[in-house]
Structure 1
Amino acid sequence: MLKVGILTLSDKGSKGEREDLSGKLLKELCEKEGWVVLKYEIIPDEKETIVKILKNWCDKENLDFIVTTGGTGVYPRDVTPEATKEVLEKEIPGIPEYIRYISYPITPMAALTRGMAGVRKETLIINLPGSPKAIKEIFPKLIDIIKHAVEKIKGDASECARN
């Protein structure tokens, strides 16, 4: 059972001007896996605020997994990757590469996503796009990767090779 935090980055969502469909979908998908969503927030695209929350959720709340949704594109206020990079101790470039790989056949605009993934202390952090459609296409394909990564982050020394 993973302890999860979901952070939605949306100026409009944080003001109640837009419903957070992607964050709600992530919550549903996590709970379907038997994971417990302990933290869920919708905040504006403000780098300092994102950094503060990510650090708190990793350092004080000791979450196993944090998924962000939104703020990964090239719009001037999209700062999620920069904020995430600031808190990561280890980057995992293969996860965002895989996310883009999954998305390319569906939309060439996947080339514009700048999400990050990595580890701070014993917490896995992954940035996802802010679209419910993208969440449906991507997140189910990440489940096994997330489970395995969290096991390794927590110190599981078993072999990674699969037969």
Structure 2
Amino acid sequence: MAEPSTTTLALVGIVTVSDRASRGDYEDRGGPAIQQYLEDVLCSKWSVVEELVPDEQEQVERAIVELAAVGCCLILTTGGTGPALRDVTPEATEAVCSKMLPGFGEVMRAASLQVVPTAILSRQTAGICNGALVVNLPGQPKAVGECLDAVFAAVPFCIDLLEGPYLETDPDRIVAFRPRR
């Protein structure tokens, strides 16, 4: 079987969920951390669509649904995954996804637990929204990279299963796992 074409542009959505950043009280650092990670890891052609929303479930839901509707194959959220009252990103993700992939959250928490004991407070999850893989990430830039390192090897194959564009990774950084057929 021939390898799928890598000339298709992959559209990736980044949703920063933060009351303070959305008001302009401070600079968003989670979204840029995700974009930098993707620049370091992806070799295939891709482009990003960014959203910055407050910690309001309806706005988080709308951002995810809109990004899936414009053709994002991967939607990465940052922020809103803790236990605070206004942290609603996992609830928004679950509300708009037809299938949940709890293994992503389990693996990210396990990886973060090697760094900080408060990782057990995180509620990251992942799911499928209208053909897009949605992954919730923490808001701290350092934690974004740690969590993506833990799960990104599985992301390209998940996108394959969803019939999205073929994502190639830099093997010196992350080796994408694809089972032999």
Q: TM-score, normalised by structure 1?
A: 0.90
Secondary structure of 2:67's counterpart equals helix
Identity of aligned residues (%): 35
Q: For structure 1, which runs of at least 5 residues remain unmatched after alignment?
A: none
Distance 1:62 1:87 in 2: 15
When the two chains are superposed, the root-mean-square deviation of aligned CA atoms in Å is 1.8
Shift of 1:52: 1.0
Moved over 3 A (4+): none
Secondary structure of 2:149's counterpart equals helix
Aligned position for 2:146: 137
Is 1:31–1:37's contact at 8 Å kept on the other side of the alignment?
no
Q: For structure 2, which runs of at least 5 residues remain unmatched after alignment?
A: 1-8, 166-177
Tell me whether 97-106 or 138-147 shows the greater mean CA deviation: 138-147
Give the length in aligned residue pairs: 158
1:71 corresponds to which letter in structure 2? G
Which of the residues 3, 26, 34 maps onto 1:18? 26
Aligned position for 1:36: 46
1:40 corresponds to which letter in structure 2? E
Is 2:102–2:125's contact at 8 Å kept on the other side of the alignment?
yes
Q: How does 1:74-85 map to 2 (within 5 A)?
A: 74-85=83-94
Is 2:73–2:164's contact at 8 Å kept on the other side of the alignment?
no
Q: How does 1:80-91 map to 2 (within 5 A)?
A: 80-91=89-100
Distance 1:29 1:8 in 2: 15
Tell me whether 101-110 or 34-43 shows the greater mean CA deviation: 34-43
